[in-house]
Amino acid sequence: MGIIYQTNKKTGITYAYQNEAYWDSEKQQSRAKRKLIGKVDPESGEIVPTRSYNKKQTGLKEVQVKPGPIPMTQYKRSFFGATYLFDQIGNLTGVSTDLKDCFPNDYKRILSIVYFLILEENNSLSRFSHWQKLHIHPNGEDIASQRSSELFQSITEESRMNFFTRQGKRRLEKEYWAFDTTSISSYSETLNQVKSGRNKENDRLSQINLALLFGEESGLPFYYRKLPGNITDVKIVKQLMTEFDVMGYKKVKVVLDRGFYSKKNIDLLYKNHQKFIIGVKLGLKYVKTILDQERNNLQLWTNLHPQFGTYGICKTIEWDYEQERPYKSDTLKESRRAYLHLFYNSEKAAKDQVDMNDHLTKLYDDLINNTCKDYYTKDYAKYFTVTETPKRGRRVTPNEEAMKEATKNYGYFALLSNEIKDPFEALSLYRSKDIVEKGFGNLKERLNFRRLQVSSELSLNGKIFVEFIALIFLSYVKKKMQDAKLFNKYTLQGMLDELDLIELFEAPGHARILGEITEKQKELFNKLGVSPPSL
C-alpha cells in the first residue's frame, strides 16, 4: 500500500490518494484501487484529511468497506507459468466461461482442483493444501478435503448437461465425433452402478463404464456418460441418440468401434439422419460374401495407399433398413445406400497371427489344467475338442479346420459408412477414435482414475465431472504438443515443469512482479497457441 499525488490542472489543488495494488486473476493483470485521503497543503506539504477519511481515522464513524479484490498484504513468491497456461487454455476453449455460467459460485474451485490434478500427477487431493501454497491458482486459497467433497456433491445434473450443451455448440458440427467406452474398477459395494462386467484389461473387479465423446478435428472431449458396469457397448447407441436430441446436437457425425455394431443400431442411425463410420465384423454374412469375391482384387498395387501401408477398396451396398411404426402397427422396410470399405494390411496380418497363436495357447492351457474362463466358453468349443476317459484321462484335440478358417482373415478388416465413399478417408477418420483411447489412458494414468475412491453416488458424479474438465485441458495440451512435434524433445510432465518454473513475486503496496522468462519458455507458449505472460 502506498500514497500517490495528483494535481487538478484547473484548480491547481494537489490531492493525495491511498493506492492499493492487487492481482486480477480473471484479466490476468495487475490492477490498482485508489482512495482519496485529502488535499496537500501548498506551504507545509502536509496532507489535510478529507472529512470521511478523518472520521475513519478518529473512529467517529465506521466506514463500511465495499467488497472487492483483496490487496496484497504479504511478501510471497509463487509458481505461475503452468497455471497461467491453463488460464489461457480455459479462455481459448471456452471452458472457463462455460463453467462460470453453469457454476457461478464454484467455478474457481473447480478450476483450481483441475489444475492440481494435471500438475500433480497421480497425487490425491490431500496434497492440494501443500500444492496451493506454492502456486497461483483461480481460487487463491486452500480447499480442504471436506470442502472438495462438498463441491463434488453440489454438482447437479442440470448444470452438468448445461455445460455439455455449451461445449458441444463450440465444436464444429462438420467434424466427426469419436465415441467409445472404458471401464473403471471399484471395490465399493455401495455404489449402485458398480456391477460385474467384462473389460478390455481383463480386470475381474466390479466396475462402472464410462462413455466419452471426442471431436475428431479439435481433439477435445465434450460429453461423457456414466453407465452400469454390466451394460455392453451395443446397448448404448439408442440412449446416445436421445441425449444428442436433448442437448440440441444436430447433424452429428459419429465414429464408432465395431463393439457398437448391430442391425438395430445402424437402423437407428439412419432413422436419426446421423452420418456414421463404424467397424464391422468380417463374419457378417454380407461382409463375408463381398470379401470372398474381392480378396484377389483387394491386394492389387492400384489399391495400395503407401502412406497407410494398406490396401483398400469401397463397395456400394444396399442396406435393408427397417423401422417399426407403432402408430401404424407395421414395419417400414426400405433400401438405404451404404459404403462397405474392405482393407488388408500385411503388418496387421503378422500381428493377427501372433495374437491368435497366443490366444490358442492360452485356451489349450486352460483346458489341460481345467482352469477355463467363462468368457472364453465359445472359443474353447470352436477351436478344441475335449474328451475324457478313465484310462487316458483328459485329452484336448485341436480343431484344425476352424483354425485354418481363422487364418483366412489375418490382416483384413472392414468399415461401414453412409457418407464416406473413399476408403482411405474413412480409414483416416476411423483412426481418429484413437484420441478416445488416449483420453481413457489420461484419465486412468495421469489423472489417477483407474480405481474409484469415493463412497457415495453424489461424490462419484461430481468427481467424474471435475476429472472430465481436467481431461479437456490435458487433451488440448497433448494435441498442441503433438502438432508442434514437442514430444520429440519433451515429455508432458517435462514441458509443464519447464513452464512451472516461472514465478510471480508479491509485495504489499506494489504490483506483482513477473519472474524471468527464457526464450525456450516463450517458444513453448507460442507453440502451445498461447501468448507468453507479461505484466
HEC-encoded secondary structure of 76-90? EEEECHHHHHHHHHH
pLDDT in tens, 481-509: 989 999 999 988 899 999 999 998 877 77
Percent of the chain with pLDDT over 90: 40
pLDDT in tens, 374-400: 889 999 999 999 988 877 778 899 999
Q: Which long-range contacts (CB under 8 A, 24 or more apart) does 271-276 make?
A: 271/323, 272/241, 272/244, 272/245, 274/241, 274/244, 275/176, 275/251, 275/417, 275/418, 275/419, 276/416, 276/417, 276/418, 276/419
Q: Which of 221-225, 333-337, 339-343, 445-449 shows the lowest per-residue confidence on average (mean pLDDT)? A: 445-449
The grid cell for 227 is 453407465
Residue 447: what pLDDT? 58
Residue 410: what pLDDT? 94
Can you give the length of the chain in residues? 535
Which of 303, 304, 284 has the alpha carbon at shortest distance from 292? 284
Residue 330: what pLDDT? 87
Q: How confident is the model at residue 326 (pLDDT cuts 50, 70, 90)?
A: confident
Between 263 and 235, the higher pLDDT residue: 263
Burial of 349 (0-12, 13-18, 19+ CB in 10 A): middle
Residue 448: what pLDDT? 58
Question: Does position 221 have pLDDT exceeding 50, yes or no?
Answer: yes
Please give the C-alpha separations between residue 326 and each of 74, 262, 274, 333, in angstroms, as whole numbers: 72, 21, 22, 14
Question: Does position 66 have pLDDT exceeding 70, yes or no?
Answer: no
Distance CA 177, CA 217 (A): 9
Distance CA 516, CA 163 (A): 37
Question: Does position 328 have pLDDT exceeding 90, yes or no?
Answer: no
Residue 241: what pLDDT? 76
Residue 72: what pLDDT? 57
Distance CA 60, CA 42 (A): 28
Q: Which amino acid is at 209?
A: N
pLDDT in tens, 335-357: 999 999 999 999 999 999 999 99
Residue 374: what pLDDT? 85
Residue 247: what pLDDT? 74
Question: Does position 454 have pLDDT exceeding 70, yes or no?
Answer: no
Q: How confident is the model at residue 82 (pLDDT cuts 50, 70, 90)?
A: very high
The average pLDDT across 287-303 equals 94
Could you say which DSSP state residue 375 is in?
G
The average pLDDT across 192-206 equals 52
Residue 437: what pLDDT? 66
Q: What φ, ψ does residue 118 adopt, rounded to 5°? A: -75, -45
Percent of the chain with pLDDT over 70: 80
Residue 426: what pLDDT? 93
Q: How confident is the model at residue 364 (pLDDT cuts 50, 70, 90)?
A: very high
Distance CA 341, CA 419 (A): 12
Q: What is the mean pLDDT of the chain?
A: 82
Q: How confident is the model at residue 126 (pLDDT cuts 50, 70, 90)?
A: confident
The average pLDDT across 299-321 equals 94
Q: What's the Rg (C-alpha) of the chain?
A: 31
pLDDT in tens, 91-118: 999 999 999 999 999 999 999 999 998 9
3-state secondary structure of 246: helix
pLDDT in tens, 11-65: 778 777 777 766 666 666 666 777 787 787 766 667 777 655 444 444 434 434 3
Q: Which of 67-71, 142-146, 366-370, 413-417 shows the lowest per-residue confidence on average (mean pLDDT)? A: 67-71
| N-terminal to C-terminal alpha carbon distance within the chain | 19
Q: In what order do the strands lie in the sheet with 253-256?
A: 221-228, 207-215, 176-185, 253-256, 275-280, 412-417, 330-344, 310-325, 304-305
* Residue pair 126/147 in contact by the 8 Å Cβ criterion: no
pTM confidence score: 0.69
Residue 103: what pLDDT? 95
* Residue pair 305/332 in contact by the 8 Å Cβ criterion: no
Between 2 and 478, the higher pLDDT residue: 478
Distance CA 459, CA 139 (A): 20
Q: Which of 40-54, 164-178, 307-321 shows the lowest per-residue confidence on average (mean pLDDT)? A: 40-54
The grid cell for 191 is 455404489
Question: Does position 184 have pLDDT exceeding 80, yes or no?
Answer: no
Residue 54: what pLDDT? 47
- Provide the β-strand partners of residue 342: 313, 414
Which of 112, 241, 218 has the alpha carbon at shortest distance from 172? 218
Q: Which amino acid is at 519?
A: E
Q: Which helix (H) or strand (E) holds 61?
A: none
Distance CA 205, CA 534 (A): 50
